[in-house]
Structure 1
Amino acid sequence: MLRKTIIFLLLSTTLYSYTQEKIVHDLKVQGNKKLKASFIKKIATIRAGSVLDSVVIEQDILRLKRLPSVSHAYYQVFPSEDNQYNVFYNIEENFTLIPSLSIYTTNDDEFAYRAGFHEFNLLGRNMIFGGFYQHDIYSSYAINFRAPYLFSNKLGLAVNHQDLTTQEPVFFEGETANYKYRNKSFEVLGLYELNFKNRLELGLNYFVEDYKFKGENVNNRPELNVHKWLVKGIYEYNNLDYFYQYISGFRSQFNFQYVTSTDGMLPDFFIGWNDFFYFKRLGEKGNWASRLRMGLSTNDKTPFAPFSVDNNLNVRGVGNTIDRGTGVVVLNTEYRHTLYEKDWFVLQGNAFVDSGTWRNPGGDFDDFGKIKNVKIYPGLGLRFIHKKIYNATFRIDYGHGITKNATKGFVFGIGQYF
């Protein structure tokens, strides 16, 4: 009887030790300098008194590594007392006051640039504030503010203002006319994080579009000054993992906009597109990266179609807004390889193929398969990367078209192309 009692007590003690939950005694933050520890604790899921769960902690670490202010993060767990544990989040910070620069040229001697500054960790709370100046024949500017966790660990706000002026080719039947195009806008967006992988943005944009004909208007082409309202919605699924310059995983971002106009010549229309991103580590130094964009808009037969073929947006080397369409399919794929790495510096080479096709305004889905609408531009590039400064990747790409009436040219910029 005594033997049975002792065995029962031993089994009970063993089962209790296995079933008793491990509890977080405290969450501590180390290594941060500018980034506030209170902000990290605000967006973290693990809190004092919660169950110690490695899956939840690893999600917190991934969330931190996605912040512009963090170059790398990892965690440690140490026992405290009474089956409680201290969790340490270790932070390696980025420098976050970042200049931005984009320069693009073609063999037609086009030259344009965009230069600016953004602070990606304003007040140590991962708020983004900044702007840019652009010269693309004309002068333009923009000011942006974005605070994803302004109100809580899920709810934030973004406010944007821009005044962009460019020379835009507008494609009439049998003629390409150049317009001085100005877009002045004010935008407010609400930002909401559903969970670790899913987020929403919803907002309103008021803007004025102004089209002025350049040169002698012998064919009496239209000039417009139109006030518009735009309702915007964005849904993003993000399952990317970062290790310094390397990225792995899948991300999808869907954008939908409905635009209403005060001018009958520019009727109300919708535009929607989805960007699919896929990244895969190849060996120790390789990274395969791809982006597929598929989009459609209202198929009005208008020279002011919303999707453009552009050197700095979708096809490297093609030129500055050489065509427009009401539908788009673009695939960018490239192999990135680390050629040299020491301490904070990385030299990366890449080989890419940018390809795309567009639906003509008022056209059919068959347009996507027409040779004249297809652009294929392979090329090579270099990346100069600072591992401790957010987005500090200076890129040089050279694209050379292999389809009909192709061009070639360099594209310079800050940050990866996608």
Structure 2
Amino acid sequence: MQVTCAQKTTIVSLEIVGQDKIKTSYLKKIITTKQGEVLDSVKLNQDITFLKRLPAVSHAYFNVTRLPNFKSHVKIGIEENFTLLPSLNFWTTTNKQFAYKLGLYEYNFLGNNTTFGGFYQNNGFHSYGFTYRAPNLFSKKWGLAISFKDWKSEEPLYFGEKTANYLYNNTSVELLGLYQLNLKHRIDFGISFFSEKYKYLSGETAEGVPLALDLDKKLLKLVYQYNGLDYYYQYVSGFKSVLYTQYVTTQNDFQNDFLIAWNDFFYYKRIGAKGNWANKLRLGIASNENSPFAPFALDNNVNIRGVGILVDRGTGVAVLNSEYRHTVYDKKWLAIQTNVFTDAGTWREPGGQLSDLFKQEKLRVFSGIGLRFISKKIYNATFRIDYGFKVYDTRNTTKGGLVFGLGQYF
């Protein structure tokens, strides 16, 4: 809804309806439209866009009632999401063992847009962690995030044509400051203290590669986000960009300090009444150490559906994911989408050249189809299943496979 008026009108009453668990006091604090101020249609529409991005809000709208003497009554309507969500993921590991991850998260903790929760994972080893994220803890613009993680996994490391499996253990504590410049711009910044341990399990290593490593590190992080997305239930339109930069310091003879940065670009377009075209482009670069512990991984749960689990690593990356989603069923609480997709990516070898990204033998292309079951009343409750099959990949014998998950792939 748009509001236009040549004569300035004053908001004499502001009403918010439809909210249940999310606090009215919190909503009135974070919106820019205030009782007693002049009615501004631009600010009011921006407030609605901001509210629709909150995990606790599935939809928002407003109505303006004109009153005598250039006065008005503004009503903002909220349709809430259910925000206490379990998470369940299951997969097979590199040694074909069944693995699962269980979690429970509240995305509207205390009714003020705070996320709090944790997970337990069993993939042959035990991992756990928790997260607390309060973007409006101190004010509308300032917030805080704290997380702890003790993560263990068996991971393949690549030494040319050789492969060895190591037990990887990452224990970390992270503290971030959160600053919202305005509706579209946000910055997260902070520090993480963590230890990394590697222990050889099986396979062929290379000369000079240790069978065990125990490293203490510090990570400085800066994330800048531009968000121009607009939501209408399961449909998304607009552009979003997220830049991640990290500087890792360590004191050991095997690894040097290194810098890593990547940018995710998202573009969504509504097509007709039921279609949605979605795109994600990731461009990343890191310090080019000739090491099997390269930071960018090739994995069908992360970037190319169907390629396999932890298939390769690199110090540079360019990945494009593109899919068309079409809603085939849409009722009050449930929507079902079909999708067709193409994922394509290329990696720079550790110690290699940037030209690696443009070599034909580095290119992987997988395409496929999928289904989405979307709850319109529960935040991020999208169950997805995709099957990706190989279109082009000269370095991998995998012909394709299923990928399950919660939430849209991107």
1:164 to 151, 154, 177: 151
Aligned partner of 1:286 in structure 2 is: 275
Structure 1: 5+ residue stretches without partners: 1-17
Q: What does 1:4-403 correspond to in 2, within 5 Å?
A: 20-105=7-92, 109=96, 111-215=98-202, 221-222=209-210, 223-402=212-391, 403=393
Q: Which amino acid aligns with 1:103?
A: F
- Work out the CA distance in 1 between the residues paired with 2:317 and 2:128: 27
Aligned partner of 2:409 in structure 1 is: 417
- Work out the CA distance in 1 between the residues paired with 2:143 and 2:198: 35
Counterpart secondary structure, 2:229: strand
Counterpart secondary structure, 2:300: coil
Counterpart secondary structure, 1:179: strand
- Which digits, 9 at most, give the CA deviation of each residue in 1:237-266, with x for residues without a partner? 001000000000000000000000021211
Kept in 1: contact 2:56–2:379 (CA 8 A)? yes
Deviation of the 1:142 alpha carbon: 1.5
- Which digits, 9 at most, give the CA deviation of each residue in 1:205-238, with x for residues without a partner? 0000000011388867312100000000000000
Q: Which amino acid aligns with 2:49?
A: L
Deviation of the 1:58 alpha carbon: 0.4
Root-mean-square deviation (Å): 1.8
- Work out the CA distance in 1 between the residues paired with 2:263 and 2:14: 38
- Which digits, 9 at most, give the CA deviation of each residue in 1:64-122, with x for residues without a partner? 00000000000011134532212111000000001122334599846433221110101
Deviation of the 1:22 alpha carbon: 1.1
Q: Which amino acid aligns with 1:49?
A: G
- Work out the CA distance in 1 between the residues paired with 2:165 and 2:174: 28
Kept in 1: contact 2:164–2:204 (CA 8 A)? no
Residues 276-285 or 369-378, more deviating: 369-378
Which one has a larger percent helix, Structure 1 or Structure 2?
1
Residues 90-99 or 76-85, more deviating: 76-85
TM-score, structure 1 length as denominator? 0.92
Aligned partner of 1:7 in structure 2 is: none
Counterpart secondary structure, 1:153: coil
Deviation of the 1:364 alpha carbon: 0.4
Residues 83-92 or 326-335, more deviating: 83-92
- Work out the CA distance in 1 between the residues paired with 2:146 and 2:94: 37
Counterpart secondary structure, 1:368: helix
Residues 73-82 or 190-199, more deviating: 73-82
- Work out the CA distance in 1 between the residues paired with 2:217 and 2:114: 29
Deviation of the 1:60 alpha carbon: 0.1
Residues 242-251 or 44-53, more deviating: 44-53
Counterpart secondary structure, 1:214: strand
Kept in 1: contact 2:94–2:155 (CA 8 A)? no
Q: Which amino acid aligns with 2:304?
A: V
Sort the Cα spacing of 1:355 and 1:106 in 2 relative to 1 into closer, same or farther, 3 A: farther
TM-score, structure 2 length as denominator? 0.94
Q: Which amino acid aligns with 2:194?
A: F
Aligned partner of 1:3 in structure 2 is: none
Counterpart secondary structure, 1:57: helix
Kept in 2: contact 1:210–1:226 (CA 8 A)? yes
Residues 75-84 or 159-168, more deviating: 75-84
Higher Cα radius of gyration = 1
Deviation of the 1:135 alpha carbon: 2.5
- Work out the CA distance in 1 between the residues paired with 2:29 and 2:167: 47
- Work out the CA distance in 2 between the residues paired with 1:171 and 1:227: 23
Kept in 1: contact 2:164–2:202 (CA 8 A)? no
Sort the Cα spacing of 1:406 and 1:279 in 2 relative to 1 into closer, same or farther, 3 A: farther
State the identity as a percent.
52
Kept in 1: contact 2:230–2:237 (CA 8 A)? yes
Sort the Cα spacing of 1:283 and 1:294 in 2 relative to 1 into closer, same or farther, 3 A: same
Higher relative contact order structure (alpha carbons within 8 Å, sequence separation ≥ 6): 1
Kept in 2: contact 1:106–1:319 (CA 8 A)? no
- Work out the CA distance in 2 between the residues paired with 1:133 and 1:55: 44
Aligned partner of 1:9 in structure 2 is: none
Counterpart secondary structure, 1:206: strand
Aligned partner of 1:10 in structure 2 is: none
